């Protein structure tokens, strides 16, 4: 059984990151299936996901076209594969049906469910619009909506104020420890799901 360092009985609100929590990602496998060698795939991944441009993209400040154009200026030898990757981004996601079933059970018990995620508008809708958890959330705050990203303190405060959440009665789940720490610094309870583990997340959800 997982160890929980807060009082589950006091929790009324569960707040979830999306990527790595409610969705798995298979971007490396995408490139493998496409025939892109591993070294080139990793260069594209680092060049995109670890860049300041990706933060601007998640913040809704630049478009997909601007993102890829900027990337191709920096890495012209990777242009063909990078454009293919973003044009086929739906293939990146891995839905987590067992998690969605647990969310449905949690919702039926009376808990409220919220989303707090770093995502561009285009990718967020592409990855989630047809998935069942979107139909049962009580509120969604995605970075592109507010022009700021986790773990900036501002986004947690917006979440709290917009949905009138009492942080002591709320727990936030994320696969990045810095994002969890950001929530804890704003008074929320936090759970770090290491290695994007679906099984670990399920263990936690079954405590509610």
Residue 151: asked if its preceding bond is cis (omega within 30°), the reply is yes
Give the predicted TM-score (pTM) of the model: 0.95
Query: 140 and 61, same structural domain?
Result: no
Is 110 inside a domain boundary? yes
* Whether residue 135 sits in one domain with residue 158: yes
Q: In total, how many domains does the chain have?
A: 2
The model's pLDDT over 87-125, given as tens digits with 9 standing for 90+, comes to 999 999 999 999 999 999 999 999 999 999 999 999 999
Give the side-chain half-sphere CA count within 13 A for 42: 3
In a domain, 79, yes or no: yes
- Residue 70 covered by a domain: yes
**What DSSP string runs through 91-159?**
GGEEE-HHHHHHHHHHHHTT-EEEEEE---HHHHHHHHTTSGGGGT-SEEEEHHHHT--TTSHHHHHHH
Cβ atoms within 10 Å, residue 10 = 12
Q: Are residues 118 and 178 in the same domain?
A: yes
pLDDT of 2 > 90? The answer is no
Instruction: Mark which of 40, 64, 92 sits at the end of a domain.
Output: 92
pLDDT at 35: 93
Per-residue pLDDT reduced to its tens digit, 73-92 = 999 999 999 999 999 999 99
182 and 109 in a single domain? The answer is yes
Statement to judge: residues 99 and 140 lie in one domain:
yes
Note the pLDDT tens digit of each residue in 18-66: 999 999 999 999 999 999 999 999 999 999 999 999 999 999 999 999 9
Residues 78 and 102 in one domain: no
Range of the domain at 48: 27-92
Residue 1 lies in a domain: no
């Amino acid at each position: 059984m997982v160890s929980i360092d807060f009082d589950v009985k006091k929790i009324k609100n569960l707040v979830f990151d999306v990527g790595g929590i409610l969705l798995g990602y298979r971007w490396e496998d995408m490139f493998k299936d496409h025939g892109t060698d591993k070294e080139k795939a990793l260069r594209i991944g680092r060049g995109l996901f670890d860049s300041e441009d990706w933060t601007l993209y998640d913040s809704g400040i630049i478009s997909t076209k601007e993102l890829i154009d900027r990337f191709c200026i920096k890495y012209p030898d990777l242009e063909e594969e990078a454009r293919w990757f973003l044009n086929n981004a739906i293939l990146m996601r891995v839905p987590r049906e067992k998690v969605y079933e647990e969310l449905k059970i949690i919702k039926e018990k009376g808990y409220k469910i919220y989303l707090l995620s770093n995502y561009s508008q285009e990718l967020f809708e592409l990855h989630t619009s047809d998935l069942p958890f979107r139909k049962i959330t009580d509120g969604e705050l995605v970075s592109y909506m507010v022009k700021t990203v986790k773990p900036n303190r501002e986004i947690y405060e917006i979440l709290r104020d917009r949905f009138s959440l009492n942080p002591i009665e709320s727990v936030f789940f994320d696969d990045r420890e810095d994002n969890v720490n950001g929530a804890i610094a704003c008074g929320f309870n936090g759970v770090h799901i290491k290695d994007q583990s679906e099984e670990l997340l399920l263990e936690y959800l079954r405590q509610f």
